[in-house]
Amino acid sequence: MSRYRYKYNPEQLQYERVPLTWKDYVLITMKWIGIIAVVSFASIAVFNSFFESPIERDQKREIAFLEEQLNDMNKDVSQMQKVIHDLALRDDDIYRSIFGAAPYPQHLRTAGIGGIDREKNLRGYYHSDALIETKRMISQLQRKVVAQSKSYEELIELARSKEAMLSSIPAIQPVRNEDLTRMASGYGMRIHPIYKVPKMHTGMDFTAPEGTEIFASGDGVVIETDNKFNGYGTHVIIKHGYGYETLYAHMSKVNVRLGQKVKRGEVIGYVGNTGTSVGAHLHYEVIKNGEKVNPAYFYFNDLTPEQFEKLLEQSSIGNQSFD
């Protein structure tokens, strides 16, 4: 750096060399520092606009990973909510109806949590809404699981006190799966095979070769054995108690007598084609308190959940019955 500066002298009309003072050095130094600072900040700003630092790349990758995990978690929670909903339906419509118990109170299944704002510490962030929604879904699921657990505890107590009732309930298929040709028709409106008009079908038709074994679906007493040439044809009615009866129709042969006590799984007759029937099959009915109900809801003793769902699907098809 030069130790001098030049100053114009208007009287002599020329430049004069003047030694630099300490103030001049300070001003020159500050000027250069300012220039360097401006250039540096501008360079950093341009670089950051077009290039990412390793830390930023790692942070973006981690954010993308966490967003993906959050989405997967929401899907899992939604799936679990569907499962718990199905369990609640079975609980109220099947298990509790079997014991004659009232449905589990709905306000207990969907009980809310009052009080303070539980998501207060989650607000104010970019992903706050998504995270708050996930936590609410999980909280709802937890409350439903607790409610379902308590409901099952009540059912366990009912079951312990009603062992005889459990043995009497018609809880198995009257024809083994391996013996079935197919499940021809379920409970509901069907086309009558002879009259060709829609008619309420009050049972389920199981097609199987003539002579296939038919089993009692629960403990009980035989209250009717009849051999007719129309209607149900050769058939058996078993009274199980607790408001339950079952009917087995179109048999080829009866294997029990009137007043006989039978056990669940005992052979009571054989598949046939008697009465108003157009093919070898068993017409099976469940009667609860004098009213014919859908037998599909009572096969919970010998079917897996997958087999049960498949049976419900087959029985819901609006096809033609065999009787």
CATH 3.90.1150.10 for domain 177-315, yes or no, is no
Q: Which range has the worst mean pLDDT, 79-88, 182-191, 246-255?
A: 182-191
Share of the chain above pLDDT 90, in %: 21
Contact yes or no for 272/251 (Cβ under 8 A): yes
Model pLDDT, residue 55? 78
Structure confidence at residue 25 (pLDDT)? 75
Q: How confident is the model at residue 297 (pLDDT cuts 50, 70, 90)?
A: confident
Place of tokens 């939604």: 78
CA gap 123, 132 in Å, rounded? 8
Distance, in Å, from the CA atom of 204 to the CA atom of 296, rounded to the nearest integer, reads 8
Spans of all domains in the chain: 4-50, 54-161, 177-315
Q: What is the mean pLDDT of the chain?
A: 79
127-159 tens-digit pLDDT = 778 888 888 888 888 888 888 888 888 888 777
pLDDT for position 10: 73
Q: Flag whether pLDDT at 67 surpasses 70.
A: yes
Amino acid 221: pLDDT: 96
Tell me which H or E stretch contains 33: helix 22-50
Long-range CB pairs of 163-166 (<8 Å, 24+ gap) are: 164/219, 165/99, 165/241, 165/242
Question: Per residue in 161-177, pLDDT tens?
Answer: 677 777 888 988 899 87
Instruction: Go through 111-134 and write b for each residue having 16 or more CB atoms within 10 A of its CB, e for each that does not.
Output: eeeeeeeeeeeeeeeeeeeebeeb
